[in-house]
Structure 1
Amino acid sequence: MNDTPIKNKAGLTEEQFLQSYDASRYERPSVTVDMLIFTVADEQEQNYRKLSPKSLQLLLVKRGDHPFMGQWALPGGFVSPDESLEEAALRELQTETNIDDIYLEQLYTWGEVDRDPRTRVISTSYMALVDSEKLEVKAGDDADDAKWFRIEDRWLRESKTATATGTVTEKWVELRLWNEAEELSATLKITRTVNGRTVREDREIVESRQIAFDHARIIQYALERLRGKIEYTDIAFALMPELFTLSELQQVYEVILGKELLAAAFRRKVADKVIETNQYRKHAGHRPSKYYRFNPEWT
C-alpha cells in the first residue's frame, strides 16, 4: 500500500492545501430558505346534509421591514453558516409562525441573479401539507402577521410556435390568494422551450400585487408539483385525521387537483392506500359512512 501523500501541481498535500486555502477568493452569495405550508380547510356549508366544502390554503407572513414592507411573503430567512438547510427552514418557520415539529420536503432551488434587491440570494424552497386545526399559527418576532390564504390558479391563454429544432410554448396563468381581509394576485408567463431533446421551462412574473420578492412564481410552481405528487404519493394523507371516510378523502384530492373525480374510479385509485375499519361515521343528515385509515404498507 502506498502511503505517500498525493500532491497537487503546486506541490501541496490536501492538508497543506486546506490550511492555506483562502475562502475570500470567491464572492459568496447569501443563502435563504422559503417554506410553502399548505392545508385543506373546511368552509361554511349552509346545508347540514352535505359535507362541508373544502379549500386549499397557504400560510403567508406579512413583512415587517424593507424590502417589500407590508407585503405578504412565504415564511423564510437566511441560513447561518453553522446549520443545514433543513435546520434553517425549521428554525425560520418556528421564528416567524410559531410552528414546529412538521415534516418539510425540499422542493426546488431558485438562483436568479436579481431575485432579491438586497444582495445576491439563492433560496431553497420546502413544502409541507399540514392539518391546520392542529396548529396554532402566530406571527413571531420577524413578521407583522401570519395568516392562511385560500389559493387558486387558472390558465389565461396559451400560444405555441414551431422552431427549426422544436417548439416554444407560452402560457399565461393568474394566481389568486385571499382571505376575509385581503386579496393578493399575480400574473405569470411560463415558457416551455423544446430544442431537440432538450426541454427548458422558465417562469416570469408579469405582474404581482402584494406578493413579495419572486414568491408568486415559487407558489405557482409548488401548486403544480403538489398536484403531481398527490397522484402518485401518499402526501394527501398528511391532511387527514387518523380515521376518515372515502368521501372526505376524495374532497381533499378534488380541491388540490381542482376538478371533480368519479367516486368509483377514485376508490379504485386509493384502494391500496387505505385500510377499511369496522367503525362508522354517524352525523345528523348523513347516512352512516364507513371509516378508513391510512395504509403505511401501500406500494
Structure 2
Amino acid sequence: MASNEKVNSHGQTEKEFLAAYNPYKYERPSVTVDMLIFTVTDAKKRNYRTLPDKELKLLLIKRGEHPFIGQWALPGGFVKMDESLEQAAVRELKEETNIDSIYMEQLYTWGEADRDPRARIISTSYMALADSSTLEVVANDDAADAKWFSVQCKLFQEHRTLTGTGYEQQRLYKLKLACEGEKDLEAVIKKVKTVSGRTVRTYGSIEECSGIAFDHAGIIEYALERLRSKIEYTDIAFNLMPELFTLTQLQQVYEVILDTELLKANFRRKTAHMVIETNQYTKDAGHRPSKLYRFNTDWNKENE
C-alpha cells in the first residue's frame, strides 16, 4: 500500500472497500423512464377558404399488460443496468412506438412511494416537441395501441388563504385528452403552493382520474406548465415547424401551446430575430400568397 493512500475507519483502502462492498445492503428501487412527445396538427377545416385551427397533441400508448391494462399511458419502461437514463428513453420510445432520432430533454423525476402498484419505482420523464408528419407511429412491445390525443388543461378553481407568515394557494386544473374513436380521458389535478417567509413549497396531487394510468395525469399537467414557460424564452416551438413556414402558422403554434390569443404585431416583433425571410410564397388555393420564412439557427448568438 502506498504510504499516502487513504484508509477508512476499518483500515480499508478504496480498492479493498469496493471489493468487499455489498450492493444489496440498501433496498434498490426500480427505475423507469416516461416520454412526453407533443406535436401540433391542423384541426379539420371548416371550408377551403378558412385557415385550419391548430391542436396540441400528445402521444399515448394503450397498455396491453397489467397493471392498468387497457388504460392509456405515456410511452416508457424500465432502465437496464447497463444503460443511462437517456439511452433507456430512446430505446423504450423506439420499442413501444417506432419513433427514433428525436431530441428529448429531461423534465422531472417522480418518486412518490405509492406511484406504482407493482413496486417502489422512481421515474424520470423526458419531453420533446416533434413534427408528427415526419413520424411513423406503430405500437410495438407491450403497447396494445399508440395514438395522438388532443390536450387541454384549464385552471377552473383557485383559492388563496393568508397565514401568519405568508399564504397557501390551491389551484384545481381540469385535464382532458381526446382522440377520435376513443373515450375521452379526464383528470383533476390539485396544485398547492405554500409561502412562509422566504420558504416556498409546492406539491401536486391527482384528485380524480379516468382512463389515464399510473400518475401520468400529473406528469402531463406538469409538462404542459413547463412547455408554456419554455416557449417564452427558447426556440423549442420551432421543432414543430416544417423547413418553410408562414408567420401566421408560427403564431398559431404559439397560441395553441400558450392557450391564448396573441397580438399579431407584438408576436412578430418578438420573434423577428428568430426567423429568416425567404423569397418564396405559399401556393394554397383560396388564399392570398403569404411569404415563407425559415428558422434562424443563429438567433441566440446576439445575446452571447
Report the counterpart of residue 265 of structure 1 in structure 2. Answer: 266
SS in 1 for 2:185: strand
Tell me which residue corresponds to 1:216.
Answer: 217
- Residue correspondence of structure 1 range 42-61 to structure 2 within 5 A: 42-61=42-61
Which residue of structure 1 lines up, in the alignment, with residue 227 of structure 2?
226
Instruction: Tell me the amino acid that sits aligned with residue 68 of structure 2.
Output: F
Calculate the TM-score normalised by the size of structure 1: 0.98
- Matches of residues 242-253 of structure 1 in structure 2 within 5 Å? 242-253=243-254
Deviation at 1:282, TM superposition (A): 2.1
* Cα drift, residue 7 of structure 1: 1.0
Q: C-alpha displacement at 1:61, in angstroms?
A: 0.3
Matched AA of 2:229: G
d(CA) in 2 for partners of 1:177, 1:3: 65
Alignment root-mean-square deviation, CA: 1.0
1:196 maps to what in 2? Answer: 197
CA deviation profile, 1:30-81 (whole Å, cap 9, x unmatched): 0000000000011111222222111000000000111101000000000001
The 2-side partners of 1:241 and 1:156 are apart by: 35
Aligned: 1:135 with 2:135: yes
Q: Please state whether the residue corresponding to 1:284 is helix, strand or coil.
A: coil
- Which deviations, in whole Å up to 9, do the C-alpha atoms of 1:118-167 show, x marking residues without a partner? 00000000000001111111100211000000000111111101112211
Residue 140 of structure 1 aligns with an amino acid whose one-letter code is N
Q: Which residue of structure 1 lines up, in the alignment, with residue 149 of structure 2?
A: 149
Gaps of 5+ in 1: none
SS in structure 1 at match of 2:45: coil
Q: Which amino acid aligns with 1:174?
A: K
Aligned amino acid, residue 6 of structure 1: K
Deviation string, structure 1 residues 179-212 (Cα, Å, up to 9, x no partner): 1112100011110111211211111000100000
Q: Which residue of 2 aligns with 1:186?
A: 187
User: What is aligned with 1:235?
Assistant: 236
User: Helix, strand or coil for the counterpart of 1:117?
Assistant: coil
State the match for 1:9 in structure 2. 9
Output the CA distance in 2 between the equivalents of 1:56 and 1:153.
11
The CA distance in 1 between the partners of 2:149 and 2:53, in whole Å, is: 16
Aligned mates of 1:141, 1:297 — CA distance in 2: 40
CA distance in 1, matches of 2:5, 2:197: 47
* 1:258 maps to amino acid: D
Q: TM-score, normalised by structure 2?
A: 0.96
Moved over 4 A (4+): none
The separation in 2 between residues aligned to 1:3 and 1:266, in whole angstroms, is 67
Separation of aligned partners in 2, 1:195 and 1:78: 38
- Aligned equivalent of 1:30: 30
Tell me the distance in 2 between the aligned counterparts of 1:14 and 1:204. 44
* CA distance in structure 1 between the partners assigned to 2:284 and 2:69 by the alignment: 47
- Secondary structure of 1:231's counterpart equals coil
| Deviation string, structure 1 residues 239-280 (Cα, Å, up to 9, x no partner) | 001000000000000000001111100001101110111111
Counterpart secondary structure, 1:261: coil
Residue 219 of structure 1 aligns with an amino acid whose one-letter code is: I
Measured in 1, the distance between the counterparts of 2:156 and 2:263 equals 26
SS in 1 for 2:285: coil
Partner SS for 1:25: coil
Mapping 1:252-291, distance limit 5 Å: 252-291=253-292
2:115 is aligned with 1:122: no
Aligned to 1:161: 161
Shift of 1:10: 1.3
- SS of equivalent to 1:232: coil
| Residue of structure 1 equivalent to 2:207 | 206
Q: What CA distance in whole angstroms lies between the structure 2 residues aligned with 1:141 and 1:219?
A: 23
